[in-house]
Structure 1
Amino acid sequence: MSVTNDAHNEAFQKALLLVASKSQRCPIPEDVIDGRYLATGLPSDYSPPPLTELSMIKEESLWQILAKESDLPVPNNARVRNYKQWYLSRPLHLKTVSKRAQPFLYYIYQNAQARDLPIELVLLPFIESAFDPYAHSHQGAAGLWQITKPTGKSFGLQFRPGYDGRLDIIASTQAALDLLEYLHDKFNGNWLHAIAAYNSGESRVRKAIKANKALGKSTDFWSLALPRETEHYVPKLLALSQIIKEENHTSLPLVYIPNSPVLTSVTITRQVPLAQIASDAGLTGKALYLLNPGYSAGLTLRQEQSQLLIPKKQLNHFYQQPEKLHYVKNKYSVRHIEPGDSLYKLATLNNTSIRDIKQANQLVNNKIHAGQLLLIPVK
């Protein structure tokens, strides 16, 4: 290191200590020098708010986020009104399905948001399967997204003895969103046509559009002659989206879902019993299988990598002894954050990057605090 750099670093440290001694807080904005936000304790002048104020503090739920970000037009027509009433008259249904959605909804939301898709699509499993990951239909569809085998194969799903990609939450979500993007493109950016085609098939919607054109009629979704199920499928989705927007007014009995990740994925490189992975993660075998119903034989794939979902809160437990996890592709050590730590320091000491640490811990910014547990990539 050069003398100039040594002098610069010494001046930097002196300035840092001087300001920190006055405020007990890091003086460097996190957006100025990436990753150099220092972990500190609470300010010395901190005092907790009165209990009456604490009782009024409530974290924004994912339902509220969905309400804010939903923007597909919802017409005030008979079909939509009927389904709004249908939902509102079935509070037990809303409560049951939203409870089933708890582990999966934010994961699906993340994936839809990453693709810049309409947020209403996140609610399709509500309509398709009532968020039952084991759901099977008489028409041969299965899983949260009710995908058939031929469609699943066309969009990359695998089918092996003891494994059904339609029931795999990760694989089926990617396939369903791929299919919706494909249909959106095929129907020239018309989302209602795409959603209708997801239900009844591309050719059926295309034929209905062609028939209306031949008669000089409108080709919007509401004017098409489609199977009865499809004619009700789209308004059912739009009605659900609309009443979620009006949750405060209708007092919907939706189970609370936090606006934060509940699940994370781990990549398994060889065939391993789910029971062993569950034990290493501090879970019961049943709890892990409920999140990964595609693996009906209780084993990951033999000659390919498998992606499993585990609760985010179990990650620290899972990686406490990374040397034992010979079957995991990416390994991490668990770091107990102390005052003075920063992402920059952690990345430098562990020969990794700030980006990789943030990604491993799903951090949205550079702020860390003393007492926090972070996963550090092991090279």
Structure 2
Amino acid sequence: MISSHTKKQIYAGIIASSTCLLITCVLTLTSPTNIKAGVLTSPSIWPAMCRHFSLSVDASLEQETQRQIRWHRRHPGAMKDMTENAQLYLAYVFQQTREKSLPAEIALVPFVESNYDPFARSAKGAAGLWQIMPDMASAHGLEINDLKDDRRNVIKATHTALNHLLYLKRRLHGRWDYAIAAYNAGEGRVRQAIRASNKSGGKVPWTKFLPAETRRYLPKIFALKAIIQHPKRYAINLPNIDVDTYFSNSPIHRTYAFSQISDICKIDSDLLHKLNAEWRGHIFTEDNKTIILPISQSFSCKKKLSRIPMFSNRWARHKTKSTDTIKSLGTLYNTNPSTIAGINSLGNTKLCHRRVLMIPKNSQGIPPLSKDASLAAAIAATDLLGPTKISHIVQKKDTVHTISKQHDVKVGHIAYWNRLRYPYTLTTGRTLVIWKNVKANVRYTKYVVQPGDTLSQIAKQHKTSVNRIMQVSNLKDPRKIRPYQVITIPK
């Protein structure tokens, strides 16, 4: 027997497919595969996504979905702002949903999570396009350290998020609406909502028992879907985004500086940082093994990089010896020692033996990461928000249960963070990752800028002044704040 919910999803899929065929015909005349200036452009992504929309709106969410659509109609420019970041990443995310046979609505989740900004952070500690929390990153093998944050890497983060969504769907009765809600609120909260609805005999929808934020989460996604399906009905122009993936993942065998690759390959440095957003500084190391490049320049760039010598007129690639110090390297390359330390993210004057350093020759200062001050701050952000990471070295008599009591965390969480399998056998000397919530500094609080926010509105909301926020957040221009930027608010 097919459940009534499954039937609804099948009917919704048929209707969506039929609607999308009409939209495809209309959009094909205007945006995809046109010849502009003698160049054949790629088809638009919107008809392709529309063909693979398959989820139906729960009746209990219809009213909120319509409210979100009305908001977009009052702010028709919002779609343009939302898709500005997505130009680089949406096609890749959509392609990944197709490879895993997922509904195309999943590709809309990063719009709601981060505005498709790989540098987005939340006050709770989430980061990247998919707003992955540190504990989830540990569970999926993503690195977070002073040099890089893999949650900001579009390829690794997308792989992690899609696998987690599939896991949630399997755990929650095979329903995508449950899984997407759980991605926002957590599996436990959704289970509680389902149980509460069942206790009412189904008279009260499960969505009524969700947190307020999650009750708006699914409608935001369904509102975007409706606008993509019927842009003319809602008088909203959809910016053109190519259906073809913008970038490719290319192998590298050396450590490079971003500005070095920018000079050699003639690729904008800001673009390189946005494509390789996991790196917090001026360089990325050969340990990463790959670099993300615009697909149109990938082949020529790899060829150029393979030809450059270890030393060039502007850069030296130096593998440290036991006798090296930052001061001696500064003398050798006529470069300020603080510049060497800053570019290579060296916290002190001690150098690890045989570490590869990128050293700009004849340089007396650290160049900015970007001419855009807000982007530079986002790239370099190291003030990790949210839970604090604790490393626990397993002792001889330790068990998962004794460690959970010691740190006041659940056994299941320790197993999840460290990918332990039951019966949770531990090896003496192994380092376990523990994530704990620590009380925030009472003098300050962190605030994540929302689309449409102004600094004066934020100041009024927190009963402080614009000047005080600018001072503690190190802001130079009150007009230059961007959505999902994290700022400090004095209490």
Does the TM-score normalized on the shorter chain lie above 0.5? yes
TM-aligned CA distance change 1:53 to 1:237, over 3 Å: closer
TM, length-normalised to structure 2: 0.52
**Structure 2: stretches of 5+ with no match in the other structure:** 1-33, 311-491
Counterpart secondary structure, 1:259: coil
Kept in 2: contact 1:272–1:300 (CA 8 A): yes
**1:255-297: CA deviation from partner (whole Å, max 9, x where unpaired):** 2111222111112344332233333432132220121111012
1:184 lines up with 2:175 in the alignment: no
Give the aligned length.
274
1:72 lines up with 2:55 in the alignment: yes
TM, length-normalised to structure 1: 0.66
1:210 lines up with 2:176 in the alignment: no
Letter of the 2:145 partner, please give it: R
Whole-Å Cα distance in 2 between the matches of residues 75 and 66 of structure 1?
21
Aligned to 2:147: 162
Among 115, 120, 132, the residue aligned to 2:117: 132
Whole-Å Cα distance in 1 between the matches of residues 205 and 227 of structure 2?
23
TM-aligned CA distance change 1:251 to 1:316, over 3 Å: farther
Among 257, 266, 269, the residue aligned to 1:282: 266
Kept in 2: contact 1:81–1:239 (CA 8 A): yes
Counterpart secondary structure, 1:313: coil
Aligned to 1:111: 96
**1:163-201: CA deviation from partner (whole Å, max 9, x where unpaired):** 011111111111111111111111121000000000011
Kept in 2: contact 1:289–1:298 (CA 8 A): no
Kept in 1: contact 2:193–2:206 (CA 8 A): no
- How far residue 232 of structure 1 moved from its aligned partner, in angstroms, is 0.8
Among 284, 287, 290, the residue aligned to 1:300: 284
Aligned to 2:106: 121
Counterpart secondary structure, 2:106: helix
Whole-Å Cα distance in 2 between the matches of residues 320 and 169 of structure 1?
24
Letter of the 1:230 partner, please give it: T
**Structure 1: stretches of 5+ with no match in the other structure:** 1-50, 328-379
Kept in 2: contact 1:180–1:195 (CA 8 A): yes
TM-aligned CA distance change 1:52 to 1:94, over 3 Å: closer
Among 226, 230, 235, the residue aligned to 2:219: 235
Whole-Å Cα distance in 1 between the matches of residues 58 and 154 of structure 2?
32
Aligned to 1:318: 301
Letter of the 2:53 partner, please give it: S
1:245 lines up with 2:237 in the alignment: no
Write out the 4+ residue segments of structure 1 that deviate beyond 6 Å after TM superposition.
Answer: 51-55
Aligned to 2:244: 260
Kept in 1: contact 2:249–2:291 (CA 8 A): yes
- How far residue 248 of structure 1 moved from its aligned partner, in angstroms, is 3.6
- How far residue 213 of structure 1 moved from its aligned partner, in angstroms, is 2.5
Kept in 2: contact 1:80–1:235 (CA 8 A): yes
Q: Which has the higher contact order (CA 8 A, sep 6+)?
A: 1
Aligned to 1:173: 158
Range moving further from structure 2, 93-102 or 262-271 = 262-271
TM-aligned CA distance change 1:274 to 1:82, over 3 Å: same
